[in-house]
Structure 1
Amino acid sequence: MNRIIMKRHQVILNKIEEEKYVEVAVLCKELNVSAVTIRKDLKFLEEKGLLYRTHGGASFENPYISDRSVNEKEKIRVDEKSNIAEEAARRITEHDSILIASGTTVQALARAIEIKEKLTVITASLNVALELIRYKYIDVLQLGGYVRHSSSSVVGNQASVILDNISCSKLFLGVDGIDLEYGLSTTHLEEAQLNQKMLKSAQRTIVLADSSKFGKKSFGRICSLDEIDEIITDKGINKSILPYLEEKGIAVTIVD
């Protein structure tokens, strides 16, 4: 390998070290080379285990998510999840019928709901149901099926059958990863399939995801970005991806 290429590789690694994430377009301009050249550089460096390629760039952070328990995840990014949940709760109106999927961010949403009149909630999450069952004005329909120990949520055909006979105004969806090409994903295939059924039962899909979920992907693909209506996230989101989301017709709400 010649000295020019080695120097270019070092510039790329230094830039990621400084900024955590680097875009192909920025590297092209800074190094005065084509996008094809940069992509070859990134591919080479990824094969050496020095970085991970993402849509339009690269970072040192592994984009592939493994399953973790809900007890572990609820201790991560607590403030961001709480702020996202409070913003999401403003989308809920009296006499509404909504779907709430599973995950720690939608569990925070359940705690943030302040409706004082009739509300119907259909959920796969046992923790969400336990949060809401305390309020006599909220009717909770707990989907049935096998309970996943790691997420405290149900999966399986029994839940899918119920969703075939339901229509709701909104789905509040938590995810493990958002990748611009791969779409939305979660660590469990059956949970992804249940989320797909929820999408079909809702008129509007609102994704609750802190900024760490972007650029990540996991085993179970839920849907493409074209199938969602809004993302509520925090100010840590990489601003360079906002135009892409807007092109997809997705409303992006960023909370402090």
Structure 2
Amino acid sequence: MPSSTPPADLVAAISERRATLSPKLAGIAAYALQNPEAFIRKTSREICAELQTSEPTLIRFCQVFGYAGLSDFRIDLALGLAGSRQGFVEPLAGDRRLANAEAKQAIARRAAQLVRDDRSLLVDNGSTAEIFAAALRDAPAMTIMTTGIWVAQNALAHGQHTVMLTGGRIRSNAMSMTGRMVETSIGQMHFDTFVMGAASIDADHGLSTFQEDEAHNTRFMLGAARRVIVLADSTKFHKPSLHRICGMSRVDILVTDLPADDPRYSALEAQGTTIITTRTSDDFNADTARDRDLGRDSRPA
């Protein structure tokens, strides 16, 4: 079980605690700091083989820093690197899908209810967008354009929707389209709703994402729809700002699992954004009490 709350700066926390760890855990810490791209990109089995350690030991290392598992740890490590001079390493799509999956499912189902009267959707790429597309199974037929290859596949599987991919260069790590051809594809189109995610959400700084080209494309997509819905689970409110997309004033609806009594909820609401939460205060308090009884942090895995 996680032994603490995840740190605000994971890279700094690893550096500070490295000397106090057991030899096995200290070896993993050194590897994560010295070879961050390999640590983020390789499978857990490959990392363990290289370090001659076990997967339970690797998970225990992540739990020392407040994470339930490797996926959440690596996403925060990538974000921490992006905010430093060491540069950005994009997290694996598989890690993104595993992080806070249950909350993302609830957010996607609620968002799917909001677009039932729409005839055309523009959809971002990303793990929550993929789940959102899967949640459109019972929605009336509509036209859906997306930059996400897996988003397109999930929407197409329902049979009733007309699905289009934008043009562009394929980002293999994210299985999404990027580049100027994204803008060319949607330049003469107008959609009822743009459904998007973000790597980071902050009431003052707005929405941010991992890469500069993705931020540029997303800003262009914002102007191609009448309404903007953002899907963001609670882990997106712990991250540093990277490449800014827009301020909260551009967002019409935020669908999240933040409870209404969370201070971040109030700060976002003060920006004029309509917030729909899938999680009540009672849910949050019950989870916190259960986690306290189990001796673990209440941050979703």
Normalising by structure 2, what TM-score? 0.62
Report sequence identity in percent: 26
Contact 2:137 2:158 in 1 (8 A): no
Aligned to 1:239: 262
Asked if structure 1 preserves the Cα contact closer than 8 Å seen for 2:124 and 2:195, the reply is yes
Could you list the runs of 5+ residues in structure 2 that have no partner in the other structure? 18-65, 67-75, 83-87, 280-301
- TM-aligned CA deviation for residue 151 of structure 1: 1.0
Q: Give aligned pairs, total.
A: 208
Q: Deviations over 1:31-88 (max 9, x none)?
A: xxxxxxxxxxxxxxx9x979xxxxxxxxx98874652021111011110000000000
Matches within 5 A, 1:50-65: 64=80
Are positions 1:156 and 2:156 aligned together?
no
Name whichever of 209-218 and 82-91 sits farther off.
209-218
Deviation at 1:228, TM superposition (A): 0.8
Aligned counterpart in structure 1 of residue 247 of structure 2, from 207, 211, 224: 224
Structure 1, gaps ≥5 residues long? 1-16, 23-45, 51-59
Cα distance change, pair 215–180 in 1 and its aligned pair in 2 (3 A): farther
1:79-158 → structure 2 map (5 Å cutoff)? 79-94=102-117, 96-115=119-138, 117-158=140-181
Aligned counterpart in structure 2 of residue 68 of structure 1, from 80, 91, 101? 91
More helix by share: 2
**Contact kept? 1:98, 1:169, Cα under 8 Å:** yes
CA distance in 1, matches of 2:95, 2:239: 18
How has the CA–CA distance of structure 1 residues 86 and 231 changed in structure 2, closer, same or farther, with 3 Å as cutoff? Answer: same
CA distance in 2 between partners of 1:18 and 1:146 (Å): 41
Greater strand content: 1
Secondary structure class of the residue paired with 1:74:
helix
Aligned Cα root-mean-square deviation (Å): 2.9
Q: 1:173 to 1:237 in 2, by over 3 A?
A: farther
For 1:83 and 1:116, the matched residues in 2 are separated by 16
Name the residue aligned to 1:199: 222
For the 8 Å contact 1:93–1:115, the answer to whether it is kept is no
Q: Bigger CA drift: 113-122 or 234-243?
A: 234-243
Match of 2:209 among 186, 198, 209: 186
Identify if the C-alpha distance between structure 1 residues 230 and 49 changes in structure 2 by more than 3 Å, giving closer, same or farther: farther
- Whether contact under 8 Å (1:206, 1:231) holds in the other structure is yes
